Amino acid sequence: MRNFEQRLYTLERVIDIREERIRYLEEELNNAIELSRQDKDELLEEISKLKKIVHQLEEENKKKDKEITNKDKLITEIREISKSAGNTPKAQDYTTRLVDENERLKREINTNFNENESDENSPDLYNSDDNMGTIAELADAID
């Protein structure tokens, strides 16, 4: 009988230990799930901010394209006026300035576009994990 009581006590103790371990693991699981939700929320917030930045840059590029188109129209008009006016030095100077401004705007747009491309393809400065996905891949995975 003594062996039976000791065995019963041991089994009850083992059960208590296992139940405590289960409670601990459940708590850890709940904490991990909550962290995962927080991480997801943070990623969604960052993705939203980046989408806003991209939208602003696209709008800026549209504005620059419109400016270039307007400058091109002005250049064409000035060249026509210059031809009909007999190519006066003043008209030629104005045409040259407009052409230079047009070229500067084109370079600026190309620079903005290239910066956007390099940002999209650059590694994460804060995390050197090469297995990390791009923001677009993360957004697709979340959706």
Q: What is the pTM of this model?
A: 0.43
Q: Tokens at residue 85, please?
A: 């006016």
- Give the confidence band of 12 by pLDDT, cuts at 50, 70, 90: very high
Structure confidence by residue, pLDDT tens digits, 114-124: 776 665 555 55
Q: Tokens at residue 87, please?
A: 């190519």
Q: Specify which of 57-61, 94-98, 108-112, 136-140 reaches the highest per-range mean pLDDT.
A: 57-61
Structure confidence by residue, pLDDT tens digits, 83-94: 776 666 776 777
What span, in angstroms and rounded, lies between the C-alpha atoms of 45 and 86?
Answer: 61
- Give the confidence band of 14 by pLDDT, cuts at 50, 70, 90: very high
124 backbone dihedrals φ, ψ, rounded to 5°:
-70, 125
Could you report how far apart the first and last alpha carbons of the chain are, in Å? Answer: 63
